[in-house]
Amino acid sequence: MTHNPQTVTDARGVPMSWCAESSRNAYEKALYRFQSYFGDPTVTLSAAVEAEPDFVMGHVFNASAMLLTSERAPIPAVIESIEKAESLAGKATWREKALTAAARHWMEGRWRDACATWDRVLAEHPRDAFAIQCGHLTDFLLGDAVNLRDRVARVLPHWDRQVPGYSYVLGMYAFGLEECNQYAQAEANARTALGIERRDGWTVHALTHVLEMQNRFDEGREFLQSTSPDWAPDNGFAFHNWWHLALFHLESCDFDGALRLYDEQVIPEPSEVSMQLLDGSALLWRLRLQDVDVSDRFGTLADMWAAKTDVENGYYAFNDFHAVIALAGAGRIAEARDVLAAVQSAARTNPALTRMMANDVGIGACQAIIDFVEGRHEAVVDALLPMRSYANRFGGSHAQRDILTQTLLEAAVRSGNRALAGNLVNERAVQRPHSPMTRRFRERANAG
C-alpha cells in the first residue's frame, strides 16, 4: 500500500498528510476530547481548519464526530466537511481517503460499510485511535456486541501503557466484553484502565455495566458516588453515568433517590442532546411502570423532544422510541403517533440498515408504548414478547434494552396474564435473586 510522501505522524505513529504543528496539536487535543468527553472535539478542530483550510484530518474528524451524535441535525455540516476532505484527495494519505470514505458511507446510511472501512484502516494502522473510537461508537449504535469486543481485540496487542490513549482503548474493550457477558474479564480490564486514567467516564461506564448486569447495586452506588469527582465535572457523558446511578437506586426501590438524580443530574436543565433526552425518557418510564408519581416531568421532557421531532423523526429508531415514551407519557398521544408514522415511513424509505432498525424493532416498540398508555396491555405483550430476542437490532446496550422487558412484565401483570408474569419474574431472578425490585415484581405478578 502506497502513501503520499508528504506526511507527518500523530503521537501514536499513525500517518496523516502534512499539516502545521498547530493542527497536529489540535488533532491530539480533539482526540482526547473525543475519547474522554471532556470538551467538544469539533470546536477544537473547527478552529484548526479555519486556520489551515487544507488540514485533511480536521475535516474528516469533524464529519465523523458529528455523525456519531446519532442525530440528523448536523448532516449539512457533515456533508460540507466530507466534501472538503474529498476535494483534498490529491494531498491526502491512503488512510485519510479511507476515513473520508467511511464517513460518507455512514452519512448515506451504510453503517456496516463504514465499519468495514475502519477495519481496513486498522489492519494497516492498528494504533489509529480515531478509527477505533469511530468503530466502537458505531457498534454501540448498532447494538453489535460481538464487534464492540472484537474490533478492539483485533488491535489491542499493538497497544501498551507507553502508547498515548491506551487506557481508553482498554476501557472500550472492557465494555465490549461486558456486552458479550464476559463479566470477570470486563471488570479486570476496566479496573486496569481506571488505574491508568481514573477520569475516563467511558471506562467508568463499562465497569458500571458489569455491576448492573451482576446486580451488585449497592456496590454500584458506592462506586459511582465515590468516583464522581473524577468523571462528572464538565464531562459531556456524565449524565449517562448519573442515569446508571439512578438505575441502582431503582433496583433497591429507592424511587425518591432516582427522581432526585433525574432532577439534579440526568435532566437538570433543558437539553437538545438526544442521548441525554433518551436517558430521561428511560428513567421516567421505569418509574411510571412502578406507579411512581413523576409530576409534570414527562410534560417538560416531551417539550424538549418536540423541539427536535420535525428534524429528527425517523432518523434513528432507538431515539424515536424514547421520544414516543416522553410524548405518550405526557399524554400527548397525537404527537407520539406522529413519531410512529415517521418510523413507519423510515421502514419503507430509509437506507437499508436504518430501514431494518425501524421495521424490525422501531415500529413495534413505539406502538407498544402507545398501547400501554392507552391500556391495551395484551397488545403490548403480543408485540414485545417475541421482540426481546432481536431487540439489539435497533441499538443500545443490555441495560438500556431492559426497558422492553420491564414494560412486557408490567403489561403481563396488568393484562391478568399471571403465568407469563411469573415466568418473566423467574427469568429476572436468575441474575437478580436478592433484588428488592425483583421481589416487587414478584409481588405484583402474584397479585395479578
Euclidean distance between CA atoms 96 and 246, whole angstroms: 41
pLDDT tier at 1, thresholds 50, 70, 90: very low
Euclidean distance between CA atoms 14 and 363, whole angstroms: 43
Across the chain, what does the average pLDDT equal? Answer: 97
pLDDT tens for each residue of 304-322: 999 999 999 999 999 999 9
pLDDT tier at 324, thresholds 50, 70, 90: very high
Which residues are CB-neighbours of 122 under 8 A, at least 6 positions away?
Answer: 128, 131, 132, 135, 151, 154, 155
The distance from CA 428 to its chain's CA centroid, rounded to whole angstroms, is 24
| pLDDT, mean of residues 349-357 | 96
* pLDDT value at residue 153: 98
pLDDT over 90 at 208, yes or no: yes
pLDDT over 80 at 221, yes or no: yes
The domains of the chain, with CATH numbers, are 1-142 (1.25.40), 279-415 (1.25.40)
The x, y and z cell numbers of residue 340, run together, are 410512529
Q: Are 367 and 383 in contact (CB under 8 A)?
A: yes
Q: Are 49 and 58 in contact (CB under 8 A)?
A: yes
pTM of the model: 0.96
pLDDT over 90 at 115, yes or no: yes
The x, y and z cell numbers of residue 360, run together, are 424490525
pLDDT tens for each residue of 22-56: 999 999 999 999 999 999 999 999 999 999 999 99
State the angle between helix axes of 436-447 and 418-431 in degrees (0 to 180), rounded to the nearest 10: 170
Euclidean distance between CA atoms 320 and 343, whole angstroms: 7
Q: CB count, 10 Å around CB of 158?
A: 14
Q: Are 85 and 92 in contact (CB under 8 A)?
A: yes
- Give burial (CB, 10 Å; 0-12/13-18/19+) of 173: buried
pLDDT over 50 at 2, yes or no: no
Q: What is the DSSP letter of 89?
A: T
| pLDDT, mean of residues 265-274 | 97
The x, y and z cell numbers of residue 111, run together, are 453503517
pLDDT tier at 6, thresholds 50, 70, 90: confident
* pLDDT value at residue 5: 53
pLDDT tens for each residue of 226-267: 999 999 999 999 999 999 999 999 999 999 999 999 999 999
Query: For the chain, what is the total number of helices (H) and then of strands (E)?
Result: 24, 2
pLDDT tier at 291, thresholds 50, 70, 90: very high
Dihedral-angle region of residue 256 (phi above 0 means left; psi in -120 to 50 means alpha; beta otherwise):
alpha
Which candidate, 329, 370, 324, places its Cα nearest to that of 343? 324
pLDDT over 60 at 356, yes or no: yes
| pLDDT, mean of residues 63-77 | 97
| pLDDT, mean of residues 107-113 | 97
pLDDT tens for each residue of 397-416: 999 999 999 999 999 999 99
pLDDT tier at 447, thresholds 50, 70, 90: confident
Q: Show contacts of 344-350: CB within 8 Å, 24+ apart.
A: 345/314, 346/314, 346/315, 346/317, 346/320, 350/109, 350/314
Q: Are 93 and 129 in contact (CB under 8 A)?
A: no
